[in-house]
Structure 1
Amino acid sequence: MKPAFQTRAFAEASVAYRDAVLSGLDDLPAYRRGTLDLPPAEDRELRVQVETFDVVAPRLAVLFELVDRSMNGGDVGSATPDERAATAPFPGHLDAARGAEPSMISAEDVAAEAADAVDGIRSFHGFDDGLPSIYRCLAQWPGFLVRLWDDLEPSLDSSEFDAAVDAADDVVGKYVDELAYRPALSPDALTATGFDPDAVDEVAGLFREFNTGPVETVLPALPAFADTLGVAGERRI
């Protein structure tokens, strides 16, 4: 799997993914340093943790699409382009030294002041229970989570965000179509190497759920969150 994330082609897809989301959203709020009623150290920690989610968003989107297709009969690498970027190395400067390991709390431990925001988040994304990791991270700062959701919900619950999700999905689909390295992740390949067939079927179903369920709208929201804090990554190489 590693070569799929180590090429210039992936670097180009990752910045295009971010650009597809942010180009489709206008008038996002800008939370400048010192305006969030947080101690300086907490303000810095919030920003650097959200930066991490901005880095991993396109990686997770590609992972879910690639494994889902590989394990559920889809095409991978069916239109590999004859260009150097397909196998050229990932640019060393891109995403270098960005972010830090995020921390988070459990969904049950979210402060009462953020309860309405959490209900709105679950309703918007389509989660009956639980809470995606980005929101469990932001819930460490419940006042900010409330402010962020109040400010961004209209932008996310819009036709513009729907179009941005589709545009980001097109970027991911094109990258997987053109993947030069085709991992041996089909059910037949995995069972031939000794994996339990029932476990393989379970994993295939899990990645289908990841790739077609509520997470579809969670991942494209991550660059928007990062942009509000001024920590979104590059949109061009």
Structure 2
Amino acid sequence: MANPRQVSEHEAQGEVERVLHEMRQTLRVTGLDVTVRTWAGFERFLVAMWEAMGPNTETRAFEAAADEVRAQAVEAAERLGRLGAWEAAVLGDSQRYHVRGALELYHYLNPKMLVFTSAVKLALQDEHVGALQPLGSAERVERGAPARMMAMEAVDERPDDARLRGLFKDIQETVGPPALPGEFRGLALWPGYLEAAWERLKPRMRTEEWARACDTLLETSRRLARRLPYEVALSKERLEVLREDAELIQRVTVQSEWRLPVLVLGMATLVGDVGDLERRLPFPAEARLVPDFVVAEELR
């Protein structure tokens, strides 16, 4: 079955463009992952989903949930041991600087996307997600990507380089649908490093220890998603009312949630392999002190 169409921020128009911009600002990142770009192919769903999830995403509770998932992944990666890819890859100082930046970006983003996707998936299965706190009562964090966060860049999903095409095919088959994860396309800007990393990461992904760690990450994500401060007003019924391809949206969401623990642990492993990168809190979030009406202007 063909992968659903993705919509990038550069292609987006109208309400999709608005939502993707708001998501990037609220998630505090320089780009969005393949799960969001796939959801963006369903405009009415994307708008309704963000309306339901947006208030939680800007809270300290959501940030802390992602931090907890990330810390758990770091501990699991430490138990599994160093990978050795960082030392094996032949990279210049400038290349190492940029690879480090890419690793930090996805190490920050992936745990957020896991908690986010767990919340959406559970809600679409008619599970209660979120508490019943009054909107605006939970502490919020500042919007916008940190100044030192690397821009999200990537090679084309179908590169001219036959070696990369083969590598992408192997990665996609190993980690599963819905599409090639963005971090591997990003790391492909340095093919030698990606090859060294994947050569060592793939066998580890097939171990029982890895599978158990991913199962635990998924359980943690769902537990934390259920405890977000605001109720998530999504359901099977609302999805049907939107007159989108409900079955395909459900499938993509389930696939993404199942795969994200693998990506979270994979990135924690690569970050730990570098040695001196911040592993638990790569981009600490400050409390938001700016009034809402000012923030609303910034989001436009």
Could you state the TM-score of these two structures normalised by the residue count of structure 2?
Answer: 0.63
Which of 24, 47, 61 is matched with 2:100 structurally?
Answer: 47
Match of 2:190 among 141, 149, 173: 141
Contact 1:107–1:136 (CA under 8 A) maintained in structure 2: yes
1:218 aligns with 2:263: yes
Match of 1:111 in 2: 161
Letter in 2 for 1:50: L
- Which residue of 82, 85, 90 corresponds with 1:28? 82
CA distance, structure 1, for counterparts of residue 264 and residue 81 of structure 2: 20
- Structure-2 residue corresponding to 1:17: 69
Superposed CA deviations along residues 30-55 of structure 1, whole A, max 9, x for unmatched, are 6669x743233222112112211111
Match of 1:203 in 2: 249
What is aligned with 2:140?
89
- % of aligned pairs identical? 19
Cα deviation, residue 58, structure 1:
1.2
Shift in alpha-carbon separation, 1:189–1:116, aligned structure 2, 3 A = closer
Answering whether residue 147 of structure 2 is matched by residue 101 of structure 1, we say no
Aligned to 2:57: 5
The answer to whether 1:163 aligns with 2:215 is no
Letter in 2 for 1:65: S
Separation in 2, partners of 1:32, 1:46: 10
Does 1:124 find its partner at 2:169? no
Query: What 5-or-longer segments of structure 2 have no aligned partner?
Result: 1-52, 285-300
Report SS of the residue matched to 1:109.
coil
The residue number in structure 1 matching 2:225 is: 176
Q: Structure 1: give runs of 5+ residues left out of the alignment.
A: none
- Of residues 231, 234, 246 in structure 2, which corresponds to 1:185? 234
Relative contact order higher in (CA < 8 Å, ≥ 6 apart): 1
Alpha-carbon distance in structure 2 between the residues aligned to 1:119 and 1:209: 18
Q: Pick closer, same or farther for the CA change 1:12–1:30 going to 2, 3 Å.
A: farther
In structure 2, relative to structure 1, the CA distance for the partners of 1:110 and 1:49 (3 Å cut) is farther
**2:71–2:279 Cα contact (<8 Å) kept:** no
Q: For residues 228 and 81 of structure 1, do their structure 2 counterparts lie closer, same or farther at Cα, with a shift above 3 Å needed?
A: farther
Contact (CA 8 Å) 1:187, 1:197: kept in 2 or not? no
Contact 2:65/2:115, CA 8 A, preserved across alignment? no
Length, aligned pairs only? 223
1:159 Cα deviation (Å)?
1.6
TM-score of the two chains, using structure 1 as the length reference = 0.77
Deviation larger for 150-159 or 135-144: 150-159
Q: In structure 1, what residue type is equivalent to 2:157?
A: A
Q: Secondary structure at the match of 2:244?
A: helix
Q: CA RMSD in A?
A: 3.3
